[in-house]
Amino acid sequence: MKRFLIALALTALLLPAGGALQSGGSFDFVSQAWAVDPDEMLKDPKLEARARDLSEHLRCLVCQNESIDDSNADLAKDLRVLVRERIKAGDTDEQVKKFLVDRYGEFVLLRPVFDWKNLLLWAAPVIVLLIGGIALFMRFRGTGALSESKLSASEERALADILKKY
């Protein structure tokens, strides 16, 4: 069993190397880790920093829980290029976000905005906790110490008779 696990681990380690050799013969793993290609980057470092910051707050519509800055999907690349084009054209960050929200919906934002349209979504966890707390309170509020009631005369005689037997 130990040999099998070692062979399996070695195979898992060598699979990426085989894929790299088949694709082009080079071990270019580092360039595959970065989503933003150098040809996408803006020449002005300040504008590039703005684009990177903005890209970190926009969702990849393919990967869904990754920012477009981290995603290697083709659509994410297109969105990164679009963001940089809008920034080069002089748009502010808010104008770029508004453009993308108008085009793709609020889902494109990794951090949705808080407004009256999605108030129920923001308030739902609090509402559920309050309803659960009230339900638990109502369920267990009457289960405190039971009030003592005196035995009637006939019950006391019956109890005394039972106790005499034992």
The domain that holds 79 is classified in CATH as: 1.10.8.640
The number of domains in the chain is 1
The answer to whether residue 8 sits within a structural domain is: no
- Kindly give the parts of the chain with pLDDT less than 70: 15-39, 142-148
CA separation for the pair 19, 44 (Å, rounded):
36
The answer to whether residue 57 sits within a structural domain is: yes
The answer to whether residue 104 sits within a structural domain is: yes
Identity at 40, one-letter amino acid code:
E
The answer to whether residue 101 sits within a structural domain is: yes
The answer to whether residue 11 sits within a structural domain is: no
The range of the structural domain enclosing residue 98 comes to: 45-126
Q: What pLDDT, on the 0 to 100 scale, is given for residue 43?
A: 77
CA angle in degrees (0–180, nearest 5) for 155-157-144: 35
The answer to whether residue 27 sits within a structural domain is: no
- Three-state DSSP state, 100: helix
Whole-structure pTM value: 0.54
The answer to whether residue 161 sits within a structural domain is: no
The answer to whether residue 99 sits within a structural domain is: yes
